Structure 1
Amino acid sequence: MSIELIIILLAIGYIIFTIDKKKDDFPVPTILVLVGVGLAFIPFFDSARLTEHTIYHVFLPALLFVSAYQFPIKDFRKNASIILSLATIGIVLNVVILGYLISLISPLGLIEGALLAAILTPTDPVSVVSVIKKATGNEQIASIVDGESMLNDGTSIVLFTTLLSVATREKGFSFPSFLGEFLLVSIGGVLIGLILGYLVSRIVHYSHDRNYQIMLSIILAYGAFSIAEAVGVSGVLATVASGMMISFEYGRAEKEDHFRRSLDGFWEIAEGSLLAILFLVIGIELTDHLQISYWLYAAGIFALMVLVRFITTLAVSKVFEPLSWRYNTILTWAGLKGTMSVFLILTLYAKSASSIHSDWIVGVSFTVVLLSLTIQSLTMAPLSRGLLKK
């Protein structure tokens, strides 16, 4: 993308963010995607394209870091069992059940159905967390939604990669092998993130200029991601762990408040700018893949996706931390799809494997993502108010 195009996209994002004065019922990312769909019909924006590499290595590290850094550690401790179980066991159950159901109603086989389910499993609640807080005043449910989304990306990538290899016949599936790879990738990523986050929390005291402290946080966000990926573990979890470690270290003493204020100022601006560009271009990108022939399948899969998420969320919460059916309903509806699903779709699109229905999966996936972003985010506020009155 040219610099002129980036500036125009930022200007459009600025206008939309400015309209959202109360940050209440106005899900900005969803509006950005819908505006992007409109921009796709203007020839000037033809060069606004996303690749899986750009999402993964440019946008994700920063967005994950700011989410993790701003996530209150006390909330994670309080809800750790339900967050971790939803981000691991819940994800696997979702893929297995949804994949099977998809294979029953579509031209896909069982493995291809599971692959599509893996694409539609990671959640992206950036559109709804603030809406839940404003609509209900309930911090716990917002924290669970936010915490799950930070951690389930890593699980989803491992599942997707494994299923894609099986579907393209690059290797067979072995549960012990999958479990071993999952533990190695996950634990390795977390350890790298925690170590680097701790080191940076110590080094930052040698930088008395806040501009250099901010520079160090950028190095941490992208450095943790790159180092982890280079050694074959999860860059996603490394960045999340490093952000949470920084948040933990800065929260231990009041004298660290000036560090937090400096980082807050920068990362809030960076997050808004990245989200504006990303969701506008997602809207432009997915327009090329929307076909009438996919909509009936997409609507059915969207309905199954919501149903399966409700079942798995209810089952997991019953075991690890009982939640009321009202909480489970909101957790289900807040599991809308976004950045990570688009990354996985583009990864499959780039592979273009002839041995699977890749074009069909890509087209249906993009349509489901659009349905999820619009329907779920636009109805989140009234649903939250109705179930959990403030």
Structure 2
Amino acid sequence: MQTTPIIILLFIGYIIFSIDKKKEDFPVPPILVLLGIALSFIPYFSSIEVTKDLIYHILLPALLFISAYRFPPSALKRNGGIIGFFATIGIILTILLLGGAIYAAASPFVSLSFIGCLVIASMLTPTDPVSVVSILEQSTGNKLMADIVEGESLINDGTSIVIFTVLSGMYLQNTQFSIGKLLGEFFIISLGGIILGLAVGWLFSKAIHITHHKEYQVMLSIILAYGVFNAAELAGVSGVLATVFAGIMLSFEFERSIKEDHFRESLDGFWGVIEISILSLLFLLIGIVAAHHLSFNNLGLAFVIFLASLVVRIVIITGTTQLFPAWRNKITWKESILLSWSGLKGSMSVFLILSLQAKESQHTDLIISLTFTAVLLSLFVQSIGIHPLSKKLR
């Protein structure tokens, strides 16, 4: 990508973030995506190539690291059970139920295999908290809700990639669905990424304590964010989970240090600018690339798939939180519905779509079109609805 379009897109992002001060009624990401779609009709921007490598290897590691090292260790200690369940067992149940629902809904209209429906479901399971976390805190005054949404998203980004990789491989190779293979690869790749991330994160946290210059601490954090990601990918384990748990380990070490404020100040100044810049580019690019994949021929089916993803998430989250007494005491059924609504789709789903597209199979066009449309519906409807729904249920 050339430098000039990047500067223009960053300037557009600066304008939108500057205008939207309250971030309450209408979140920034949907506005940026709409502008991206509009820009796609201008030849200068329509020629921009958005690849899975751009999102996965350049933009994503930084966003994951920022969210992870900022995530409060106390929140993870309090809500680790709920977050872990939603991002592992919950995500597997969601894919199986949603895949079945898509298969039943699509059968009368289009030809989709069951494994193809599971692939769609796996691309719709990652959640993106960027649009809703601040709104949840402002409108409900409940930090617990925001912590669970953000914590779940951090981990399920990694677990969803593992499941998608296994399912898309089965689909493209036209092999029979195997729950044993799915679970086996899921746990091996996920656990490997977690262990590597914790180990490297601990080592780098010690190095940051030794380094007293702020500039060098920032350099180390860049090396950690991208280094552990690429090392994990080369090792054949989850780079996303490695980066997330490296950031979480760094956060734990910060909490134990009497110099925590000094460390965080040096990192926040740099990564705060990087975060806003990446988000501006990411959602504008999503809008630009979305224009090439949207199809109105199956708009009704895409809307049904979006509704099904929402209903399945409500069933699983409400069912599990109300089933266990310890969780029921923390989360009411109204808050369960709000948690379900907060699981909107975003950047990770787009990466998975682009990953499937890169495989260049003639059998994926319909799946890509349906999924992209469902992702945009989720981004717009759930982002816009989170504020009034939280007020209504409060």
- Alignment TM class, shorter chain as reference: over 0.9
Residue of structure 2 in register with 1:69 after alignment:
69
| 2:12 is aligned with 1:12 | yes
Q: In structure 2, what is the equivalent of residue 2 of structure 1?
A: 2
1:154-233 matches, cutoff 5 A: 154-169=158-173, 171-233=175-237
| Residue aligning to 2:291 | 287
Aligned partner of 2:332 in structure 1 is 324
Could you list the structure 1 runs, at least 4 aligned residues long, displaced by more than 6 angstroms after superposition: none
Q: Which residue of 1 aligns with 2:154?
A: 150
The Cα shift of 1:99 comes to 0.5
**What's the counterpart of residue 94 of structure 1?**
94
Contact kept in structure 2, 1:61 and 1:239, CA below 8 Å: yes
Residue 163 (structure 1) shift:
1.1
2:386 is aligned to 380
The DSSP-based 3-state class of the residue aligned with 2:125 is coil
What code does the residue aligned with 1:49 have?
Answer: E
Cα distance, 1:284 vs. partner? 0.6
Q: Hey, what does 2:375 align to over in structure 1?
A: 369
1:315-354 alignment runs, 5 A limit: 315-320=319-324, 321-322=327-328, 323-354=331-362
Shift in Å, 1:169: 2.2
Question: For residue 219 of structure 2, what is the amino acid of its counterpart?
Answer: M
Offset from partner CA, 1:250-302 (integer Å, 9 cap, x none): 11133231011110111111000001001001001001111210211111111
Q: Summarize deviations over 1:188-212 as a string: whole Å, max 9, x none.
A: 1111111111111111133221011
CA distance in 2, matches of 1:174, 1:98: 17
TM alignment of 1:271-310, pairs within 5 A: 271-310=275-314
**Amino acid of the structure 1 residue aligned with 2:277:** S
Q: Equivalent residue of 2:266, what SS?
A: helix
Measure the CA separation in 2 of the matches of 1:75 and 1:327.
Answer: 17
CA distance in 2, matches of 1:150, 1:169: 30
The aligned runs of 1:102-141 (5 Å cut-off) are 102-106=102-106, 107=110, 108-141=112-145
Moved more, 175-184 or 303-312: 175-184
Q: d(CA) in 1 for partners of 2:125 and 2:17? A: 28
* Counterpart for residue 54 of structure 1: 54
Q: State the one-letter code of the partner of 2:336.
A: N
CA distance in 2 between counterparts of 1:211 and 1:153 reads: 30
| Residue of structure 2 aligned with 1:246, choices 250, 269, 280 | 250
- Cα deviation for residue 171 of structure 1 reads 4.8
2:322–2:332: 8 Å Cα contact kept in structure 1? no
SS at match of 2:256: coil
Map 1:21-40 to 2 at 5 A: 21-40=21-40
For residues 15-35 of structure 1, give each alpha carbon's deviation from its aligned partner in whole angstroms, at most 9, with x where no partner exists.
Answer: 000011223333111111111
Deviation, 1:151, is 0.5
- Tell me how far apart the structure 2 counterparts of residues 318 and 89 of structure 1 sit (CA, whole Å): 16
The whole-number CA distance in structure 1 between the counterparts of 2:307 and 2:232 is: 36
How many pairs were matched up? 386
How far is the alpha carbon of 1:319 from its aligned partner? Answer: 4.3
Name the TM-score, length of structure 1 as normaliser: 0.96
Shift of 1:122: 0.8
Q: Structure 2 CA distance, aligned partners of 1:325 and 1:189?
A: 34
Distance in 1, matches of 2:203 and 2:323, equals 37
Percentage of pairs with the same residue: 52
Give distance in 2, aligned partners of 1:170 and 1:386.
47
CA-CA distance at 1:231 after TM superposition = 0.5
Contact 2:166 2:185 in 1 (8 A): no
* Contact 1:83 1:144 survives alignment (8 Å): yes
Q: Which deviates the most, 143-152 or 307-316?
A: 307-316
1:360 pairs with 363, 366, 370, which one? 366
* Cα displacement string for residues 89-146 of structure 1 (whole angstroms, at most 9, x for unaligned residues): 1111111111111111212121111111111111111100001111111100111000
Cα gap change, 1:272 to 1:167, in 2 (>3 Å): same
Amino acid in the other structure paired with 1:308: V
Q: Distance in 1 between matches of 2:286 and 2:385?
A: 21
| Kept in 2: contact 1:189–1:228 (CA 8 A) | yes
Task: Tell me how far 1:42 sits from its aligned partner.
Answer: 1.1
Taking structure 2 as the reference length, the TM-score comes to: 0.95
Deviations along 1:233-266, whole A, 9 cap, x unmatched? 1100000001011111011133231011110111
Q: Which amino acid aligns with 2:309?
A: M
